[in-house]
Amino acid sequence: MCGRTACALGADRIRRACVYRDNHGRTRQPEWRDADKYSPSYNKNPQSNSPVLVSRRHFEKDADSSERVLAAMRWGLVPAWFREADPSKMQYKTSNCCSETMMEKPSYKGPLVKGRRCVVLADGFYEWQQHNGKKQPYFIYFPQPKQEMADGKDDDEEWKGWRLLTMAGIFDCWEPPDGGDALYTYTIITVDASKGLSDIHNRMPAILDGDEAVRKWLDFTEVSTQEALRLIHSTENIAFHPVSTIVNNSRNNTPECLAPIGLGPKTETKVSTSSKMMLDWVKNKSPKKEEGDLPRWSSQFIQIAAPKRTSAGLMHQWLKKEEGDPCAKKPKTQ
């Protein structure tokens, strides 16, 4: 599952961090919609607004579907068919959707069939490991380049800052029955955890690793639902480290939420040079003054392991059945 994320870059830096090439090979930066609704945070929880990437075609019918738009959407999908006047009255959680059953549930299948695929952006996400009755939080993110990262200000076409985590999501547009502004919301697709993460939790977000995967997931006119679903699987290309339990309270919004810690009073944790730089940043910087900045570090906690049979295999079975393979078995629902 994924119940808490961090996204501390300011709106303009997020836009520059999402530079891409369209179908014509042109270097582009996505334009923002309602950027004022997005607020950077080291500790985002469901119901808050987060930045997501979507195809421009969703907002402009004649637009090139390969063009991308940044939108601030609320975390927790409210299906278009929900008829209550207050969306907070939904009686079930939709912050995550299970990849194995999402094509069986109207809340998710409907938007998927319509091509409402989005990419949820974050610095990383938090997960809690249960051990001896206690919960230890971890921060999980893409491995970062070993070289010192620039601040992203020197070249608008080449982002050299933090590599954002790109998670596959589904969005929908809900309109109040009595009229009013439309509400855009999303859910994060989850899969079986990779072997490296399985000791922390049995589920993880479906991470789109690389711009080609992001392109295919977003371009709903060129890439069918069945083809896009092949991108939904776990990945071992992640890094993580333990963090303080201050992140347990979503009202705590400080850089300390991200800072790596050592576990156990008798354990000596070797801190890399880049980790020391990040810890110095946490100590000396004010998140209110530097909300567009993000700590930089590489983690000694990166886990690389051989892949295991996960929900990706079940998804492939489902796809084979959809394509007419009589030998394929339908994945078990959860």
- What is the largest distance, in Å, between two alpha-carbon atoms of the chain? 62
| Identified catalytic residue from 67, 127, 256, 291 | 127
> Would residue 98 show up in a list of annotated catalytic residues for this protein?
no
Instruction: List CB contacts of 246: < 8 A, sequence separation 6 or more.
Output: 252, 254, 256, 257
Instruction: List CB contacts of 205: < 8 A, sequence separation 6 or more.
Output: 2, 96, 120, 125, 165, 167, 168, 188, 189, 190, 191
> Would residue 290 show up in a list of annotated catalytic residues for this protein?
no
**Contact status, residue 125 vs residue 140, Cβ threshold 8 Å:** yes
Q: Report d(CA 294, CA 8) in Å as an integer.
A: 6
Tokens 């919609």, residue located: 33
Q: Report d(CA 158, CA 166) in Å as an integer.
A: 18
Q: Which two tokens stand for residue 152?
A: 């992203």
Catalytic residues: 2, 127
